[in-house]
Amino acid sequence: MPTPYYVLTFSFFLFLLSSHPLNGQEDTEFGHAMDRKLLGLKRKEKLSHFKFYWHDILSGKNPTSVAVVPPPLKVNTTTAFGLVNMMDNPLTLGPQLSSKLVGKAQGFYASASQTEIDLLMAMNLAFTEGKYNGSTITILGRNCIFNKVREMPVIGGSGLFRFARGYAEAKTHWIDLKTGDATVEYNVYVMHY
């Protein structure tokens, strides 16, 4: 009886598997160069600009930003050195909180200076608008909140922003010094594929 075709195919498949370089010496390999086209990176990088408003809401019944670590008492400063705030801040198209929501800024900021109000910002901009829905941009930087314009690096991203790099400029649009509530204009310039 002749060997059925599918048995031959299957044996050939097994042969391929056993002779594949990954099953040989190279399967202990940890990293290797690869063709960028395999990740769809054949196109040129593009530059995108995003403008939106970031709302830090500390007051009221539904704050979007809350202190999770208070400044330690043994450090006597006027800068709240050591404070950590966790946020899930709305990002809107216009300066009004009621304007169109385009995403959330999720992450934290921490008071990182003993002599001035400098924040360490670590946040993911999680967009929900249009084709950017589900994609994120990650910002990690220094935010001296009383400077007119603060620049922070874009250190990466996900989805449409894989391999992202760039920077963000933050300008305070409005601040209530009593509650700390603030609206900040963000302009983000990002290179991505």
Ligand X SMILES: *[C@@H]1O[C@H](CO)[C@@H](O)[C@H](O)[C@H]1NC(C)=O
Binding residues for ligand X, rule: CB under 6 A, are: 76, 128, 133-134
Give the H/E segment covering residue 47: strand 46-56
Query: Of the two residues 79 and 187, which places its CB atom closer to ligand X in the complex?
Result: 79
Query: Of the two residues 9 and 128, which places its CB atom closer to ligand X in the complex?
Result: 128
Question: Is the four-CA dihedral 101, 102, 108, 109 of positive or negative sign?
Answer: negative
Nearest distance in Å: CB 130, ligand X: 7
Nearest distance in Å: CB 91, ligand X: 13
- Residue 132 has what DSSP assignment? G
Nearest distance in Å: CB 116, ligand X: 15
Query: Of the two residues 99 and 133, which places its CB atom closer to ligand X in the complex?
Result: 133
Residue at 179: amino acid letter: T
Instruction: Report the alpha-carbon distance of residue 82 to residue 112 in Å, rounded.
Output: 6
Nearest distance in Å: CB 76, ligand X: 4
Nearest distance in Å: CB 182, ligand X: 25
Query: Of the two residues 44 and 131, which places its CB atom closer to ligand X in the complex?
Result: 131
- Residue 96 has what DSSP assignment? S
Any residues with CB less than 8 A from the CB of 180 and at least 6 apart, and which? 56, 58, 59
Whether the Cβ atoms of residue 85 and residue 108 lie closer than 8 Å to each other: yes
Query: Of the two residues 68 and 75, which places its CB atom closer to ligand X in the complex?
Result: 75
